[in-house]
Amino acid sequence: MKVTFLGQGFEAKSEASVGKQLIKFFADKNFHTFTGISAFASQAGVKGLSSHIDAAKKHLKNITIVTGVDQKGTSQEALRELFLLNIKVFVFYQPSITIFHPKIYLFEGDAKSELIIGSSNLTSQGLFANVEASLLVSIDNSVEQDRDVIRQVKNYFQGIFDLSDPNLKRLTVGIVRELVAAKIVPTEEERRAAQDKADNAEQNGGKILISNIFPNRAIAKLPAEFRGRTKPRSNAPISLSPSSEKAADKGKLVWTRRKLPSSSVQGGKDGTNPSGGLRLVQDDFEINGKKIAQSKYFREDLFGKYSWKEIKRAPFVEAATIPVDVTILGKFIGKFDLEVRHKPSGAAGQGNYTTSISWGKLGEIIRKANLTGSRLDLYAPRKKGNPYHMVIS
């Protein structure tokens, strides 16, 4: 075992910054697993590491990041960038006076492992410029005493490493929406304003006075990809903003699912396979003040004009192909021909009728967007021959 001190920010040139160590280890093909646990995350910090994480996916089989959201230290934009990484991302939060404050970065391989524990958050300043102190523990996996260090960390934070802790939630659009509504997660601009010491001092009229007592120091330089106000990646498949489609692009609202269940958009506990479709249920949706009857509304009233064909006899199932324009979280995805299936499920002892949409080629996009808890609105065609419009926000 080798233990190395990582200091940064106390001098202008910080060669041992945690950020540089992370970039180095992400490029090391001897590792197969990465777990990052950080109290806070910023847009610039996550986006700066994104290209290194994307490249590391060729050899890292498991990549997990856990971030806290206390004290407005993590922004909406940071969570959005974490979404775009297409890895396992979780949020830890407990509504109490205590805060979630660890910073742990663990790279595991067959022969060796590297463990960084210290004060550096997953922010550009925390990784490179802030005055921080960490320890890098280099583990020889063939030595029992070395392996025991990782065991101690995993045993203490067992609920995080095995993803079973009740205060740990998979990062989804629904979770972000709740955190924003509760004013726990700010925008990047709000986060920056709250942490801008220079602006705060100036507002208090004490900037000059303070500088006479505490002189300025040279600041460690940030790498180019971690600097400034970052813009979203142009190829971003999702957005946390509401749908940008104009009402004029849609016809009449014909159905709403207020909260999409994980079984329909995410699949099993590991999130590897979507269930394949969405059941069309009443969900208290009303037309002219009356709740729809799901036993006939979708098959007869909504999609009755389409060509239905029997695809299974026992139990009886029929299907039709419906053209649908799809907008997911503000981004128009495209037009899809979705199969709608209808089953008189009385034969199965349920005593009602079930209609469902099969995702087909849209399924992989649905899964990657982490849509559990999102809202789905279905709009009728504006003109004859036009497609339906499905908006998930």
- Residues 78-100 pLDDT 10s: 998 998 888 999 999 999 899 99
Burial class (CB in 10 A: 0-12, 13-18, 19+), 290: exposed
Instruction: Assess whether 104 and 33 both reside in one domain.
Output: yes
pLDDT for 268 equals 44
> For the chain, what percent of residues have pLDDT higher than 70?
86
Average pLDDT over residues 236-242: 44
> 18: closest CA among 3, 26, 7?
7
Q: Would you say 138 and 28 are in contact if contact means Cβ atoms under 8 Å apart?
A: no
Tell me which of 322 and 174 has the higher pLDDT. 322
Instruction: Assess whether 175 and 260 both reside in one domain.
Output: no
The answer to whether position 209 is within a domain reads no
Confidence band of 242 (pLDDT split at 50, 70, 90): very low
Instruction: Assess whether 42 and 175 both reside in one domain.
Output: yes
Domain boundary among 139, 156, 189: 189
Q: In total, how many domains does the chain have?
A: 2
The answer to whether position 62 is within a domain reads yes
| Beta-bridge mates of residue 137 | 3, 115
The answer to whether position 225 is within a domain reads no
Instruction: Assess whether 378 and 280 both reside in one domain.
Output: yes
Instruction: Assess whether 178 and 258 both reside in one domain.
Output: no
Q: Would you say 245 and 327 are in contact if contact means Cβ atoms under 8 Å apart?
A: yes
Q: Would you say 220 and 8 are in contact if contact means Cβ atoms under 8 Å apart?
A: yes
What would the two tokens of residue 318 be? 């029929």
Q: What is the CATH number of the domain that holds 104?
A: 3.30.870.10
Domain boundary among 150, 168, 189: 189
Signed CA dihedral, 12, 14, 18, 20: sign only: positive
Q: Would you say 191 and 67 are in contact if contact means Cβ atoms under 8 Å apart?
A: no
Domain that residue 52 falls in: 2-189
Instruction: Assess whether 166 and 271 both reside in one domain.
Output: no
Report pLDDT digits (tens) over 278-310. Answer: 999 988 898 888 899 888 899 999 999 999 999
Q: What is the CATH number of the domain that holds 278?
A: 2.40.330
Instruction: Assess whether 129 and 12 both reside in one domain.
Output: yes
The answer to whether position 23 is within a domain reads yes
Domain boundary among 189, 211, 234: 189
Instruction: Assess whether 251 and 388 both reside in one domain.
Output: yes
Report pLDDT digits (tens) over 21-76. Answer: 999 999 999 999 999 999 999 999 999 999 999 999 999 999 999 999 999 999 99
pLDDT for 233 equals 46
Helix 76-84 to helix 188-195 angle (10° resolution) is: 130
The answer to whether position 219 is within a domain reads no
Instruction: Assess whether 28 and 145 both reside in one domain.
Output: yes
Instruction: Assess whether 185 and 254 both reside in one domain.
Output: no
Confidence band of 206 (pLDDT split at 50, 70, 90): low
Instruction: Assess whether 369 and 283 both reside in one domain.
Output: yes
- Backbone phi and psi for residue 331, each to the nearest 5 degrees, phi listed first: -115, 125
Instruction: Assess whether 175 and 313 both reside in one domain.
Output: no
Confidence band of 236 (pLDDT split at 50, 70, 90): very low
Confidence band of 314 (pLDDT split at 50, 70, 90): confident
Q: Is the pLDDT of residue 195 over 80?
A: no
